[in-house]
Structure 1
């Protein structure tokens, strides 16, 4: 990858511009203009997300259907008309790059982007109807998630003084989430313990017979993998589902060139226990319940080969 990648998709330039927009957002908040505060904040979030993708590689932020932009991403500046991905694609890609950028965060980011589009491209006034407490806490959580991934902080992004309030808001939200999850787990644990010992033992035995590949009905959304964990409430076999975020070939193809061994990594999105009905959503809730939301496994699979082009 060339070092002189075009400024439009340069990670540092995108990050710097997001800081400028965040500064404008904070100025509008200080002036009491909460509509424009949310507008600039939404723009800053999208630029920050693109900076994170471009930091991995500039090709992740250009439109794959626009060949000149792909050349620019490779370091060949053949055009200044660079086409970048939509907000929908941006936030979808971040779920694969940033471990804690889960589907809950993705959904919120899309909501604020859609309100931004409605504000700019229609007669609607979506920001006018949004109360500050309805979005700000989740906004700072999304930003903090991305900033941590690119090894910086809210303090660097918006200035130490201005970051004090968001940091306090995040700390209070984290405490509230942890308390709520612990109470939820405790209530399910208490209900399970009220059962007779023989019934609890029978439920444990039945839970051990459940296999991950038979649990798709538990999760309405489609995910890449389902794996087993111990339920923090009843200690029975329970299940987590999530998206694959990476893989490495740890053993090359065998002597016949058919099988290879792959280490895979997933980020948990949902937890469900069929025994006590405990359900958790998002990596933050899983973490608060003491469930490791990062899952790794090893898979032996048949190698896939590209089809012939048919022009030989």
Structure 2
């Protein structure tokens, strides 16, 4: 039996408690409510990962005692040590699409100056803009546990959460439209020779808009129709295929399915840097490419 510190149901219940504090309008100010919410988000991430495997949230110690406790192999009263928030969110991004490590980390980063420094507020972002961003990530972690938002916050508060989620979707749509129109506008000005001098100099000496990730594919730009680059860092799955050359020889191919996370176009300088924006653009959520077999040999043969 897994220790309660690593138990997904115990983590879920604690997240519910913290969110109950976070949703109390009175007597709590927004900064305190946002603090409770940020703590709840981290607990939801732990619960989602622990539900799959408690070891995913345990940080290794010298003697490995906490890993043994997390695995349920031994019972103990050892010190509870879990992985850091950025590790949790990185794993959640890979496991639970379209969870955003960056958006979740920005919520957590605000805690340090608020708790440990002289910063008088948790975040400069207005509450009406902050809560939709928070619930967009929290809802994904709830779904990853095969639970509902109703179970998390209760039916009397469900409408509040749904309103924030609807607002977040609208914000994403507005941002996408803004980026598309601005890219088209800049391209039209460039072609007409009417760009302001500073922008013209920047256009003449463009920075590389791509992230340089290992996995990429060409994709038509939703703003100008030119060929852009869709990139990803993580393989959702991989499949070995065999291409028979003749009866004695064959090639071994590794086919990777990559999660699309970044799009850029050198023609109109459009950049879509989140999965939500890529989805709004109706670009592919994944793409298939070939991988190097040698990169994955240790996965199968690293037992010596």
Q: Does residue 253 of structure 2 align to residue 281 of structure 1?
A: no
SS of corresponding position for 1:135: helix
**Equivalent-residue separation in structure 2 for 1:79 and 1:260 (angstroms):** 47
Unaligned runs of 5+ in 2: 192-206
- CA shift in 2, pair 1:188/1:48, >3 Å: same
- Would the aligned equivalents of 1:241 and 1:269 in 2 still touch at CA under 8 Å? yes
Pairwise CA RMSD: 3.3
Q: Which residue of 1 aligns with 2:42?
A: 46
**Equivalent-residue separation in structure 2 for 1:26 and 1:150 (angstroms):** 21
Q: Does residue 144 of structure 2 align to residue 149 of structure 1?
A: yes
- CA shift in 2, pair 1:283/1:40, >3 Å: same
Q: Which residue of 2 aligns with 1:209?
A: none
Q: Which residue of 2 aligns with 1:290?
A: 282
- CA shift in 2, pair 1:265/1:56, >3 Å: farther
- Would the aligned equivalents of 2:241 and 2:255 in 1 still touch at CA under 8 Å? no
Q: Does residue 161 of structure 2 align to residue 161 of structure 1?
A: no
Select between 140-149 and 183-192 the one with higher mean Cα deviation: 183-192
SS of corresponding position for 2:169: helix
Shift of 1:179: 3.7
- Would the aligned equivalents of 2:236 and 2:259 in 1 still touch at CA under 8 Å? no
**Equivalent-residue separation in structure 1 for 2:150 and 2:213 (angstroms):** 35
- Would the aligned equivalents of 1:6 and 1:72 in 2 still touch at CA under 8 Å? yes
Q: Which residue of 2 aligns with 1:22?
A: 19
SS of corresponding position for 1:248: strand
Q: Does residue 74 of structure 2 align to residue 77 of structure 1?
A: yes
Unaligned runs of 5+ in 1: 197-215
**Equivalent-residue separation in structure 1 for 2:150 and 2:53 (angstroms):** 25
- CA shift in 2, pair 1:253/1:97, >3 Å: farther
- CA shift in 2, pair 1:23/1:175, >3 Å: same
**Equivalent-residue separation in structure 1 for 2:16 and 2:262 (angstroms):** 33
Q: Which residue of 1 aligns with 2:203?
A: none
Q: Which runs of 4+ in 1 moved over 6 A?
A: 190-196
Shift of 1:62: 0.2
Q: What TM-score, normalized by structure 2, do the two folds share?
A: 0.78
Q: What are the equivalent positions in structure 2 for 1:68-107 lying under 5 Å apart?
A: 68-80=65-77, 81-102=79-100, 106-107=101-102
- CA shift in 2, pair 1:126/1:115, >3 Å: farther
- Would the aligned equivalents of 2:229 and 2:265 in 1 still touch at CA under 8 Å? yes
- Would the aligned equivalents of 2:237 and 2:258 in 1 still touch at CA under 8 Å? no
Q: How many residues align?
A: 281
**Equivalent-residue separation in structure 2 for 1:149 and 1:94 (angstroms):** 9
